[in-house]
């Protein structure tokens, strides 16, 4: 600025052999490139690697394994201050990859892991195709990232996180010159992390009380439930015997938090069940991919947290 103070910088250093060009590409990506690169996707720096509160089509949210850059959404401080706020939406890798929304250092929302079709905690993703949006989640040696694109020309979309902690998917209305919100996250109490404080319980927005113990578990203190329709713990009716234990199938559910879960994508559901039976600490198992009859295996060996049911998933 006029006081010779740096207002913004890429924090990029290094020697270059020719002139560097700054260019705003048609997709909204602001890049620094070699003037002789002839428009090839070889950039010294690009804004798509540094999201703010908005994810545009073809941007990637998640981890670049080569650079170890975890691309994160960060909210505005408030509705009129675009400086970095207190909320972030970040990929976590301590089990199956899944996104968490953090308010400072406190988790407030969890996407659930990718199940081959959508994130298990965002079933509404399946209706995005009605506004001509397709999406993908990639996990390989180079990256673990989510991206989306618009399949119809001249249609514009954006996914953003507002300062109140809501994810919004909007499309541009050229006739009205405004963004029309198509989807909003966290629409009921069951979307808040954790959905129910007692472990081994699940949340059902259509029931009262909304938190109930999983089948096979009971409230630790039944008097708590009779007094105020709430409870502080769910205890197993019968302790695991490590022989002859069975399983209860829970349909249309958000998978429990996978932090610390055991993942083996090489085996199917039958082998997964056997692996769980042979592990005396196993509390639940599921496929990692629900497509084509299911594949992959995730096993939980601790208390189950942040589970919710969906009326239509």
Q: What is the dihedral of CA 268, 269, 274, 275, to 10 degrees?
A: 70
Last residue of a domain, one of 144, 159, 187: 187
Last residue of a domain, one of 157, 187, 217: 187
Residue 224 CA, distance from chain mean position: 34
Residue 133 sits in a domain whose CATH number is 2.90.10
Q: Mark whether 252 and 201 lie in a shared domain.
A: yes
Which single residue is written with the structure tokens 């201050």? Answer: 81
Pick from 159, 203, 152, 177: nearest CA to 307: 203
Q: Mark whether 140 and 104 lie in a shared domain.
A: yes
* Residue 298 domain-assigned (yes or no): yes
Q: How far is residue 63's CA from residue 115's CA, in Å, rounded to a whole number?
A: 18
Q: Is 240 helix (H, G, I), strand (E, B) or coil?
A: coil
For residue 40, is pLDDT > 80? no
Q: Mark whether 38 and 57 lie in a shared domain.
A: no
Q: How many domains does the chain have?
A: 3
pLDDT of the residue at 222: 64
pTM of the model: 0.89
Q: Mark whether 59 and 173 lie in a shared domain.
A: yes
Residues 6+ apart with CB under 8 A from 154: none
Q: Mark whether 200 and 293 lie in a shared domain.
A: yes
Query: In which order are the strands placed within the sheet that holds 30-34?
Result: 20-24, 30-34, 43-46
CB 210 within 8 A of CB 204: yes
> Which structural domain range is residue 279 located in?
190-308
Q: Mark whether 225 and 179 lie in a shared domain.
A: no
* Residue 149 domain-assigned (yes or no): yes
For residue 266, is pLDDT > 90? yes
H-helix or E-strand spanning residue 263: strand 262-264
Tokens matching residue 230:
């709430």
Ramachandran angles phi, psi of 262, nearest 5°: -95, 125
User: Tens of pLDDT along 202-259?
Assistant: 999 998 888 999 999 988 776 655 455 567 789 988 888 777 778 999 999 999 999 9
Could you give the residue ranges of the DSSP H alpha helices within 204-254?
Answer: 222-228
Q: For strands 307-308 and 201-203, give the pairing.
A: parallel
User: Tens of pLDDT along 129-152?
Assistant: 888 899 999 999 999 999 999 998
Given pLDDT bands bounded at 50, 70 and 90, which one contains residue 103? very high
Tokens matching residue 31:
């890049």
* Residue 313 domain-assigned (yes or no): no
User: Tens of pLDDT along 147-172?
Assistant: 999 998 888 999 999 999 999 999 99
Q: Mark whether 88 and 36 lie in a shared domain.
A: no
Tokens matching residue 258:
């996978």
pLDDT of the residue at 313: 58
On the 0-12 / 13-18 / 19+ scale of CB atoms within 10 A, 215 is exposed
């Amino acid at each position: 600025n006029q006081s010779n103070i740096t207002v913004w910088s890429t924090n990029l250093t290094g020697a270059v052999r020719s002139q560097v060009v700054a260019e705003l590409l048609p997709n909204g990506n602001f890049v620094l490139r070699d003037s002789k690169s002839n428009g090839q996707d070889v950039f010294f720096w690009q804004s798509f690697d540094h999201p703010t509160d908005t994810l545009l089509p073809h941007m990637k949210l998640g981890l670049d394994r080569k650079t170890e850059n975890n691309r994160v959404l960060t909210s505005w401080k408030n509705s009129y201050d675009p400086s970095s706020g207190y909320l972030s939406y970040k990929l976590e890798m301590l089990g199956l990859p899944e996104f968490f929304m953090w308010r400072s250092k406190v988790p407030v929302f969890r996407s659930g892991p990718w199940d081959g079709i959508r994130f298990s905690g965002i079933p509404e993703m399946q209706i995005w195709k009605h506004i001509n949006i397709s999406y993908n989640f990639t996990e390989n040696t180079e990256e673990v990232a989510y991206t989306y694109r618009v399949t119809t020309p001249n249609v514009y979309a954006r996914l953003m996180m507002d300062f109140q902690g809501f994810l919004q998917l909007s499309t541009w209305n050229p006739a009205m010159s405004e963004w029309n919100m198509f989807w909003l996250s966290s629409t009921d109490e069951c979307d808040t992390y954790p959905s129910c404080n007692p472990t081994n319980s699940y949340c059902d927005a259509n029931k009262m009380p909304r938190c109930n113990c999983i089948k096979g578990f009971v409230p630790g203190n039944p008097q708590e439930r009779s007094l105020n329709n709430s409870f502080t713990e769910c205890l197993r009716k019968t302790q695991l015997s490590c022989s002859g234990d069975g399983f209860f199938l829970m349909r249309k559910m958000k998978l429990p938090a996978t932090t610390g879960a055991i993942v083996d994508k090489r085996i199917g559901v039958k082998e997964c069940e056997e692996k769980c039976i042979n592990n005396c600490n196993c509390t639940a198992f599921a496929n990692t991919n629900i497509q084509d009859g299911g594949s992959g295996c995730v096993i939980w060996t601790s208390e189950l947290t942040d589970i919710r049911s969906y009326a239509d998933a």
